[in-house]
Chain A
Amino acid sequence: MFCWLQAVHVLSFELASDRVQQTAAGSSDKAPDPAIRATLQAYQDALESLDADAVKKVQPSIDVEGLKRAFREMRSLDVEIDNIRLLSGDQASARVSCRVAQTLTPRAGSRQTTTVTRVLRLKRDASGWVIETFER
């Protein structure tokens, strides 16, 4: 039963996005708006392309210069965002939890992987959903 539900979730996610995945949500969590998942997909793509300006479009509050400095040290960055859960929200704002896994291949130094669960606030503006802030 669990596997079947997961497959349904993955299928629906694939329709909205080819990479950002949604796994089985807790019974109290709601499925996020596909537009929110699309925003997170754009965020993931921007990180992977090491494009600080593209990240800023998705997360206007980001420290662009700091991010550029960080990207300059990177050879590549693989990002996977999954386990997306809508914690609360309405038409104008949303609070979402997700798991972000990143594998860094730096220009110098060791390859490193980190997986963190993050809680972020999104707001809807004229262009759609954008990340307002990370709560954790």
Chain B
Amino acid sequence: MPIRAITRGLLALVLAVPAAAHAQTPPAGLARLLPELILREITLPTPTTPGLSHAAHFSPLNPEGSADNPAVDIVSGFNALLIGQLASLPLGTSAGGFTYAFDPALGTFSRTSRSFGPSFAERAATIGKQRMSAGFSYQHTSYSRFEGQPLDDGSIRFYLHHEECCTVGGPPVPPFFGVVTNPDGSRLTPFFEGDVIEAALSLDVNTDTVAFFGNYGVTDRWDVGIAVPVVRVDVEASVLATILRLSTGPNPFIHTFEAGNPNATQRTFSRSGSATGLGDLVLRTKYRFFGDTRGALAAAIDARLPTGDEENLLGGSAQTKLFLVASTGGDRLAQHVNVGYSFGGGREAGTLSSRSLPDEFTYAGGVEFVAAPQLTLIGDLVGRTLRGMGRLEIESKRFDFQPLDATQPPTSVHFDEFAQRSGNLNLLFGTVGAKFNPAGDLLISGSVLFPLTDAGLKSRWTTVVGLDYTF
């Protein structure tokens, strides 16, 4: 039977991947890949001769580093926003069955809602007492921009301040640049603290999700269901680090990526990893208060369990979503509206401090058009407001430094960098798709989800294909 063969094939694919994939997972987990890369791994060479080492002076996560370094907040905020959206990527919905009503002209029942239902929203129709549907979907997403900036061309830049050094146990002064043991915290003393490393990030993030769905009608009005996602996340990051010798220009041997080579001002640092495993299970229930296929109202709950590995961006966030579903429709055209609120309850990994997944207001609305008895075309708008998630905005920041020539006054330059802002993150997506009934009670679906806003982490077109069978 083709369905069984396809299902077995996909299961084999899903189950075969993890061993190899986990081997590529960095020890700290994908959730900390970016902070580790940007805040720890950008180091200068250790000097071969005794004296002051500048190796870790731009690495706030190293043991001598300080979490007070401004770069920590910026990179952590970037990482939190990134993984917060990855962890809560919406799943496509199960088809939801076939519906009937009495037709006086025929003297019996006929299928009045010939639509097969939406893709990224719910309709109020329930599957019916003791009926069951099962299926799976495959969803691929890659990401192109972050807060309006391209992800993959180095446009996103972080500026790593020099650590406050030499406060305790610093080496004696000359011949090492006149270091004193009591810097003033202004990054002007010693003078070389004025240098900065520009970290230009190129990031490639892809997620692949196979979600298995089951839906059962406890009564004619009450459905229960489960969604079991298996998620694969691939992250490939590289940072072009450039030493900006604001204060050490005349002495290029102090900060260099190659000892003794004053021209070694740039170096690329890379990290990649992937992880595959069980995502967050979703338990679903829906109750239809009243109405039939021509117009109905239902309430639903999605309980998301933190079964995914949060350290590897596979999930790990508990969330309870309550929502209302209204739908109406005739023979050829049906409409649906969903409005809901999600209560967050998990913790995001990768941030330097614990942080709950934010509450979320969700809404969706769309139409289903029956192009042919066996073909439904779907169009939807799906909105999400992640409350208090925060935003990052490009801001011109001032960097002070003391030129090597102590007779010169302190000066400053400005660089554009992300800055954290409080507030909600509003996302809006469009979807178009189709569901096709090739035979019997089998449904094949295909759709694309595309972002309509630039906020947060912006995906390219998310493609979803699925298969449902009603028993």
Which residues of A pack against B, CB within 8 Å? 47, 55, 59, 62-63, 66-67, 69-70, 73-74, 77, 100, 102, 104, 106-112, 114, 116, 118, 134, 136
Contact = CB atoms under 8 A, between A and B. Distances in A.
B220 interface: yes
Contact of A62 (B107, B109, B373, B470): B107
Interface of B is mostly: loop
Nearest to A115: B102
18 contacts: A55-B107, A59-B107, A63-B106, A66-B105, A66-B110, A70-B108, A70-B110, A100-B107, A106-B100, A106-B109, A109-B99, A109-B131, A110-B127, A110-B128, A111-B129, A111-B220, A112-B220, A118-B107
A134 B104 contact: yes
B106 A109 contact: no
Given A109-B98, A109-B127, A110-B128, A67 B106 contact: yes
B229 interface: no
Nearest to B102: A114
A63 to B, nearest CB: 7
B134 to A, nearest CB: 12
A107 B109 CA distance: 12
B398 interface: no
Contacts of B107: 47, 55, 59, 62, 100, 118, 134
B118 interface: no
B109 A77 contact: yes
Given A66-B105, A112-B109, A136-B104, 16 more contacts: A67-B108, A70-B110, A73-B100, A77-B108, A102-B109, A104-B100, A104-B108, A106-B100, A109-B97, A109-B98, A109-B131, A110-B100, A111-B129, A116-B102, A118-B107, A134-B104
Nearest to B97: A109
Interface residues of B, number: 28
Nearest to B223: A110
Nearest to A70: B110
Contacts of B103: 70
Contacts of A55: 107
Given A77-B109, A114-B109, A109 B100 contact: yes
Contacts of A59: 107
Given A102-B102, A114-B102, A108 B97 contact: yes
Contacts of A109: 97-100, 127-128, 131, 470
Contacts of A118: 107
Contacts of B127: 109-110
B217 interface: yes
Nearest to A73: B111
B441 A110 contact: no
B144 interface: no
Contact of A104 (B109, B373, B441): B109
A63 B105 contact: yes
Indicate the member of A47, A70, A116 with the most B CB atoms within 10 Å. Answer: A70
A115 B109 CA distance: 12
Contacts of A110: 97, 99-100, 126-129, 131, 217, 220
Interface in B102-161: 102-111, 126-131, 133
Nearest to A112: B100
Indicate the member of A70, A74, A108 with the most B CB atoms within 10 Å. Answer: A108
B157 to A, nearest CB: 55
Nearest to A136: B104
Contacts of A112: 100-101, 109, 128, 220
B109 A108 contact: no
Interface in B457-471: 470
Interface in B235-260: none
A100 B104 CA distance: 11
Nearest to A71: B108
Nearest to B217: A110
A66 B106 contact: yes
Contacts of A111: 128-130, 220
A66 B114 CA distance: 14
The 9 closest A-B pairs by CB, nearest first: A110-B128, A108-B470, A70-B110, A108-B98, A108-B441, A109-B98, A104-B109, A114-B102, A110-B220
Contacts of B217: 110
B213 to A, nearest CB: 15
Contacts of B102: 102, 114, 116
Indicate the member of A67, A110, A116 with the most B CB atoms within 10 Å. Answer: A110
B216 to A, nearest CB: 12
B109 A47 contact: no
A129 B127 CA distance: 40
B106 A70 contact: yes
Nearest to A116: B102
Contacts of B104: 116, 134, 136
Given A73-B100, A109-B98, A112-B100, A62 B106 contact: yes
A136 B220 CA distance: 27
A106 B293 CA distance: 15
Contacts of B100: 73, 104, 106, 109-110, 112
